[in-house]
Amino acid sequence: MLSQSTLDRIDRISSDFQLSFGKLNEEQLNFKPNEKTWSIAQNIDHLITINQTYYPIFDGLVGGHYSAPIHGKLSFLVKFFGRFILQSVRPDRRQKIKTFPIWEPSNSEVNDVLKKLELHHQELKQKIASIEPFLGKKTVIHSPASRKIVYTLDKALDIICTHEERHLVQANELKEKHLK
């Protein structure tokens, strides 16, 4: 089953967030050293927000009413965008990237964010299980941020998990620097 490794990866990421931040209080989770740096809670809120923007695409696939943009038939574009996006969200990439406005985290304090992440991961895993028939078949989707950006569904799941791992690293760096 192709999605099982993704589901296992999400479980591991979820566990890592709980282990890293489960003992922090709301004030610590929402601590921001400056206006340009996201808090741990904002990092997590951003992940939930971005992942949920994939749901209409997943639901469209399952419901049979999703159609990829016409340029999704150009395999060189699909491969280029998939590799580019995945590379840009890797945890070891030190360069910060400005996110699309639709994916900005809340500017206010985020409460119960770890519980929200846990519930979100359960929902995400259900969505992934529902798209299992489309995995491994080079199904092309567009990015929730822009129909101009296309990549495979399998690559989208890799992007989602890798992006979560990146923000786990960022949140841990914030904790180590400021919340000892």
pLDDT 10s digits, 3-38 = 789 999 999 999 999 999 999 999 999 999 998 889
Q: Stretch 58-76: mean pLDDT, rounded? A: 96
Q: Which CATH architecture has domain 2-178?
A: Up-down Bundle (1.20)
Q: Give the position of tokens 């949920």.
A: 52
- Give the whole-angstrom CA distance, residue 39 versus residue 178: 11
pTM recorded for the entire structure: 0.93
Q: Which residues, in sequence order, are CB contacts of 54 under 8 Å at separation 6+? A: 127, 144, 156, 160
- Give the whole-angstrom CA distance, residue 48 versus residue 42: 10
Find residue 151's DSSP bridge partners. Answer: 141
Identify the pLDDT of residue 109.
66
Asked if 4 contacts 16 with a C-beta cutoff of 8 angstroms, the reply is no
Residue type, 99: T
- Give the whole-angstrom CA distance, residue 62 versus residue 134: 9
Identify the pLDDT of residue 101.
61
Break the chain into its structural domains and give their ranges.
Answer: 2-178
Q: Answer yes or no: is pLDDT of 100 > 80.
A: no
